[in-house]
Amino acid sequence: MKAPFGVAIVGCGTVGNAVAKLLLSQSSMLFERTGQQISLRALVDIDFDRARAAGLDEGLFRENFTAVLADERIHLIIETVGGLSIARTIIEKSLKAGKHVVSANKALLANYGTEIFELARKNGVCIGFEASCAGGIPIVRALVDGLLANSNEAIYGVVNGTANFILTEMVRNAKSYGDALKQAQADGIAEADSNLDVNGMDSAHKLTLLGSLAFGARISLDEIPVEGIDSLNSFDVSAGLELGYVPKLLAIGCQTKKGLELAVRPAFLAETHPLARVSGVFNAISVYGSDVGHTMYYGRGAGGRATASAVVSDVISIALGTWQVLFSKLSIWPDRGRKIQIADFGESTHRQYLRFLVKDRSGVVAKITAVLASRNISIKVFVLREDRHPSNLVPIVITTYEAREKDISEAMKSIIAMPPVDKDAARIPIIDEQMESN
């Protein structure tokens, strides 16, 4: 009979407690399925009030992390502390002590993943991070195993549940951004400080990791242009819906002739697009492979139990030794990926939704269309809306054919500089369905 595989959890918050409860409640089932006993030996923290409230065994509580690292019966550390500084110290000490690590800390791995992966290899151990990219969705496993035969062409993700909930409220209930955010906070979906969720940085952290795996590339967080949803308003959401588009905060990685295009930004998707139907706190990721074509992964992107599912999946793979094979052999990890050409964002081409507010003056429409034409921007739809904006100005809504981002930017600057045009303008890219190569 195999010796038990010992595990310690550092951090007794929502995720840590959920992982502990899953390991304990499903211990028999996991052994039956794998033939490997996984033994939770310690819960490490400085405050165990939440662990007690969760009904966890006080005999597992430990405050001395150094003693836990010295325990030869413990083979793996699960880091659920979050943040950067303390979590990094915990992970680095664990790796140096020869312990495998599982973490859901996307911010830490996006910023310091290369160094952490290298440290793991140096000490003959590995790191699992399935839960860091999309909660309970097994997207990391898909990219490093199930899709390995493909040269991936694109990855599109709705990977932040808070932002998606807010946008869903704006679409379904015609709420303003501010009211939708308050609803998310009241429902316990958004934190009191939800900046990383709504400003796009949480999605960028995830794209850094997902892009590295999908394209076998070294991607730095600072190479990703990031825009959040906090600038969206209910007027533009409503206008987009009338045109058949649904707003989503997208994490985008796409191979182009000019290099790898990366971005996190709010975008309009056709209401028939698979990702447009992802609502509430749910996440979804579309991957386009050279041979398999379009695959899509959908599920809960956050929450204690969903995250615990992914964490324990990593623990099982490491306990069985299967993750170590992938970790040691593959060249697509953040520390081993090839350096790839990142496309100049200004050269990227997309269709666009544009909205201007103008004073009711003759000739203003001609001036706007002339500026767009001077930048080689072709108009697909032009709507001079009869209903007045709350500002009492006249809204003009335009959708364009594909145009370069930098041409759109320059045209916007020129248009809002004209006296009849208000500086309150909107620009939202329209993302069409990715064309499959097979």
Both tokens assigned to 417 = 């500089």
Query: Do 257 and 189 lie in a common domain?
Result: yes
Query: Do 77 and 15 lie in a common domain?
Result: yes
**End of a domain among 300, 320, 337?**
300
Q: What is the mean pLDDT of residues 347-376?
A: 94
Query: Do 28 and 167 lie in a common domain?
Result: no
pLDDT interval class at 437 (50, 70, 90):
low
Residue 337 maps to a domain: no
The pLDDT of residue 158:
97
The pLDDT of residue 303:
87
Q: Per-residue pLDDT for 65 more than 50?
A: yes
The pLDDT of residue 264:
98
Query: Do 244 and 320 lie in a common domain?
Result: no
Instruction: List, for residues 386-421, the tens digit of each pLDDT value.
Output: 766 666 789 999 999 999 999 999 999 999 999 999
Query: Do 82 and 113 lie in a common domain?
Result: yes
Query: Do 390 and 286 lie in a common domain?
Result: no
Residue 125 maps to a domain: yes
The pLDDT of residue 214:
97
What percentage of residues in the chain have a pLDDT greater than 90? 89
Q: Is 302 exposed, middle or buried (0-12, 13-18, 19+ CB in 10 A)?
A: buried
Instruction: List, for residues 264-284, the tens digit of each pLDDT value.
Output: 999 999 999 999 999 999 999
Query: Do 24 and 116 lie in a common domain?
Result: yes
Mean pLDDT of the residues in the chain? 94
Instruction: List, for residues 328-345, the tens digit of each pLDDT value.
Output: 999 999 999 998 899 999
Residue 70 maps to a domain: yes
Residue 165 maps to a domain: yes
Contact 157, 251 (CB under 8 A): yes
Contact 346, 406 (CB under 8 A): yes
Residue 68 maps to a domain: yes
The pLDDT of residue 381:
96
The pLDDT of residue 389:
65
Q: What is the gyration radius of the CA atoms in the chain, in angstroms?
A: 24
Q: How far apart are CA 139 and CA 251, in angstroms?
A: 14
The pLDDT of residue 188:
83
Contact 284, 136 (CB under 8 A): no
Q: How far apart are CA 224 and CA 261, in angstroms?
A: 9
Query: Do 292 and 271 lie in a common domain?
Result: yes
The pLDDT of residue 192:
74
CATH number of the domain that residue 84 is part of: 3.40.50.720
Boundaries of domain holding 21: 5-136+306-329
Residue 145 maps to a domain: yes
Query: Do 321 and 177 lie in a common domain?
Result: no
Query: Do 77 and 149 lie in a common domain?
Result: no
Q: Which of 99, 106, 175, 206 is catalytic?
A: 206
Report pTM. Answer: 0.94
Instruction: List, for residues 127-137, the tens digit of each pLDDT value.
Output: 999 999 999 99
The pLDDT of residue 436:
56
**β-strand partners of 155:** 253, 287
Instruction: Give the least confident one: 3-7, 97-101, 256-260, 413-417.
Output: 256-260
Contact 396, 358 (CB under 8 A): yes
Query: Do 18 and 167 lie in a common domain?
Result: no
Q: Per-residue pLDDT for 67 more than 90?
A: yes
CATH number of the domain that residue 226 is part of: 3.30.360.10
Residue 341 maps to a domain: no
Instruction: List, for residues 309-320, the tens digit of each pLDDT value.
Output: 999 999 999 999
Residue 397 maps to a domain: yes
**Is 257 in the active site?**
no
Q: Per-residue pLDDT for 4 more than 70?
A: yes
Q: What is the mean pLDDT of residues 177-190?
A: 91
Q: Per-residue pLDDT for 78 more than 50?
A: yes
Other beta carbons within 10 angstroms of residue 186's beta carbon come to 9
Q: Per-residue pLDDT for 297 more than 90?
A: yes
Q: Per-residue pLDDT for 367 more than 80?
A: yes
Query: Do 18 and 48 lie in a common domain?
Result: yes
CATH number of the domain that residue 358 is part of: 3.30.70.260
pLDDT interval class at 438 (50, 70, 90):
very low
Instruction: List, for residues 113-159, the tens digit of each pLDDT value.
Output: 999 999 999 999 999 999 999 999 999 999 999 999 999 999 999 99
Total domains in the fold of the chain: 3
